[in-house]
Structure 1
């Protein structure tokens, strides 16, 4: 079974949950389930009825998918309510899964989940680009869109990721503690994708 977080007191939430069970990995790859977990992390707790309003899906469908997510430890019942009116909450702020596994079944399910998440990322980026003309000037100028081609070793790339984590970590507490949020702060999605360019030569050719 996947690693699951212990029940947590109201207002407290583990940083991440790690999925290692192929069944959990495949279950989470469903677009609506990823949407529900994301909404619970940003706007929860809420009921299946509220989930239906937020997603445009039926209450029955949202209720079913929330139960599947609960089976694998990604969401849990929150205090209060009953039946379809019981609220749900996310069990952690982030989801993690193996980048590599000797188990072919785990590796296949993890890679499929990564592809599903990447597709979701770029759908969101496309929507953001389509709507950015409505943003105030300061947000349009602050947004970032670009790429870099670097020659790195695996160890250097790992270290770069750790340094990025360290830069972002101080801002994470604002979501759960609004008192830490300065005036004018809004939700910003920061994507971090670093992949090997297999079509680029290992070494630059001499000029």
Structure 2
């Protein structure tokens, strides 16, 4: 007899503006742990501690904080080991424009993520392998000044997100990756100036 049970639906990306959920990420080590779990798919607290140069107890504490907020969960045990895994394949933290706490908490998380991604980019450019011609032609760093209305900036932000969304699912499902696909990082920030 053939099993006709459909496979479970993939877990959707997390989209949240909930200040309580956002506050759980406003810590550099938690962002690093979640990033590490995204890369490894699952890891024990000991494995996380080894890769982050932290104690197992400290990593266990932060993993439980991430679990409480819904970012990570326990994976299938591996013998006596109890690994963790991310709940969502990706996360989009969107402030509620009517909630000051939500805006403040997204800004706190954003500052941590920007610092982490800026450090990652600086490490990349300092690495001699970045000078390989195949890498040079697929790498871009741009900083531009532009004058735009709020509506135009919102449209530009939507278009930038849509460009990256076109590749969604490839990280979780290798069958969606075309031949020759390589893992890449995209980090973009668009914001109006605060000065007059």
TM-score (norm 1): 0.80
Partner residue of 2:36?
Answer: 39
User: 1:142-183: per-residue Cα shift (whole Å, max 9, x none)?
Assistant: 200112222211111111222223222231221111122234
Distance 1:112 1:165, change over 3 A: closer
> CA shift at 1:81, angstroms?
4.1
Contact 2:44 2:83 in 1 (8 A): yes
Out of 121, 126, 129, the residue aligned to residue 130 of structure 1 is: 126
Q: Where do residues 82-97 of structure 1 align in structure 2 (5 Å cutoff)? A: 85-97=81-93
Partner residue of 1:188?
Answer: 184
The answer on 1:18 being equivalent to 2:13 is no
> How many angstroms apart in 1 are the aligned matches of 2:99 and 2:165?
32
Secondary structure, aligned partner of 1:119: helix
User: 1:2-33: per-residue Cα shift (whole Å, max 9, x none)?
Assistant: xxxxxxx7783312241413x43232111111
> How many angstroms apart in 1 are the aligned matches of 2:136 and 2:146?
27
Is the deviation greater in 141-150 or in 102-111?
102-111
> How many angstroms apart in 2 are the aligned matches of 1:103 and 1:172?
29
Q: Where do residues 1-12 of structure 1 align in structure 2 (5 Å cutoff)? A: 12=10
Q: Which runs of 5+ in 1 are unaligned?
A: 1-8, 202-207
Out of 75, 80, 87, the residue aligned to residue 78 of structure 1 is: 75
> How many angstroms apart in 1 are the aligned matches of 2:79 and 2:65?
18
Q: Where do residues 128-207 of structure 1 align in structure 2 (5 Å cutoff)? A: 128-131=124-127, 133-135=128-130, 136-199=132-195
Distance 1:10 1:38, change over 3 A: farther
Q: Which runs of 5+ in 2 are unaligned?
A: 1-6
Distance 1:112 1:166, change over 3 A: closer
Secondary structure, aligned partner of 1:24: helix
CA RMSD of aligned residues (A): 2.3
Secondary structure, aligned partner of 1:191: coil
Contact 1:66 1:75 in 2 (8 A): yes
Contact 1:80 1:87 in 2 (8 A): yes
Partner residue of 1:120?
Answer: 116
